[in-house]
Structure 1
Amino acid sequence: MAMIYGFQIVVLLPFFLSIITINGVLQPKYFDVTKYGAVADGKTDNTRAFLATWKDACAYPGRSRFWIPRATFLLGSISFEGPCNGSMTFLIKGTLKAPTDPSKFFTDSWIGFRYLENLVVKGGGFLDGQGSSAWKYNDCQKNSQCKSLPATMRFDFVQNSKVHHLRSINSKNSHFNLFACYNMNISFVRLSAPADSPNTDGIHIGTSSKITISRAIIGTGDDCISMVSGSQDIDIHDVVCGPGHGISVGSLGRSHSHEHVMGIKVRNCSFINTDNGLRIKTWSPSLYSVASDIYFQNIFMRNVRNPVVIDQQYCPFPSGCAVQSTSAVQIKDVTFDNIWGTSSTKVALNLQCSGVLPCKNVKLININLAYHGPGGPATSTCSHVIGSSYGKQIPGGCL
Structure 2
Amino acid sequence: MKHNPNNNVHTRIRGKNYHWLKMGLSFFIQSACLVSFLVSVTLVHAQKRVFDVANYGARGDGRTDSSKAFIDAWNGACQNIGGGTVLFPKGTFMVAPVVLLGPCKGSMELRFQGNLLASKKPSDFLGIDHWITVQRVNGLMISGGGTLDGLGADGWGFNDCLKNPGRCKQLPAVSASYTAGSFCIFGGARLLLH
TM-score where L is the length of structure 2: 0.71
Cα 1:44/1:81, change in 2 over 3 Å: same
Whole-Å separation in 2 of the counterparts to 1:128 and 1:104: 16
Partner of 2:97: 77
The C-alpha deviation readout for 1:261-308, integer Å capped at 9, x for no partner, is xxxxxxxxxxxxxxxxxxxxxxxxxxxxxxxxxxxxxxxxxxxxxxxx
The C-alpha deviation readout for 1:75-123, integer Å capped at 9, x for no partner, is 1111111111221111111101111111112321111111111111221
The correspondence for 1:155, drawn from 149, 166, 178, is: 178
Matches within 5 A, 1:1-399: 18-24=40-46, 27-106=47-126, 107-141=128-162, 143-144=165-166, 145-156=168-179, 158-164=180-186, 165-169=188-192, 171=193, 193=194
Q: How far did residue 148 of structure 1 move?
A: 3.1
Whole-Å separation in 1 of the counterparts to 2:71 and 2:62: 17
Q: Please, what is the CA RMSD of the aligned residues? A: 2.3
Larger radius of gyration: 2
Q: How far did residue 163 of structure 1 move?
A: 2.7
Structure with more relative contact order (C-alpha pairs < 8 Å, separation 6 or more):
2
Q: How far did residue 16 of structure 1 move?
A: 7.4
Work out whether residues 105 and 150 of structure 1, in 8 Å CA contact, stay in contact via their aligned partners in 2: no
Structure 2 alignment gaps of length 5 or more: 1-28
Whole-Å separation in 2 of the counterparts to 1:150 and 1:56: 29
Whole-Å separation in 2 of the counterparts to 1:104 and 1:63: 30
Q: How far did residue 15 of structure 1 move?
A: 6.2
Partner of 1:283: none
Work out whether residues 152 and 174 of structure 2, in 8 Å CA contact, stay in contact via their aligned partners in 1: no
The C-alpha deviation readout for 1:198-250, integer Å capped at 9, x for no partner, is xxxxxxxxxxxxxxxxxxxxxxxxxxxxxxxxxxxxxxxxxxxxxxxxxxxxx
Look up the equivalent residue of 1:147 and give its one-letter code.
Q
Whole-Å separation in 2 of the counterparts to 1:57 and 1:161: 16
Identity %: 32
- SS of the aligned residue for 2:148 comes to strand
Partner of 1:228: none
- SS of the aligned residue for 1:49 comes to helix
Structure 1 alignment gaps of length 5 or more: 1-7, 172-192, 194-399
- Greater strand share, structure number: 1
Work out whether residues 81 and 106 of structure 2, in 8 Å CA contact, stay in contact via their aligned partners in 1: yes
Whole-Å separation in 2 of the counterparts to 1:20 and 1:134: 49
Cα 1:16/1:85, change in 2 over 3 Å: closer
Q: How far did residue 60 of structure 1 move?
A: 1.1
What number of residue pairs does the alignment pair up? 157
TM-score where L is the length of structure 1: 0.36
Whole-Å separation in 1 of the counterparts to 2:119 and 2:153: 11
Cα 1:163/1:139, change in 2 over 3 Å: farther
Look up the equivalent residue of 2:143 and give its one-letter code.
K
Look up the equivalent residue of 1:31 and give its one-letter code.
F
Q: How far did residue 68 of structure 1 move?
A: 0.9
Cα 1:99/1:160, change in 2 over 3 Å: closer
Work out whether residues 48 and 80 of structure 2, in 8 Å CA contact, stay in contact via their aligned partners in 1: no
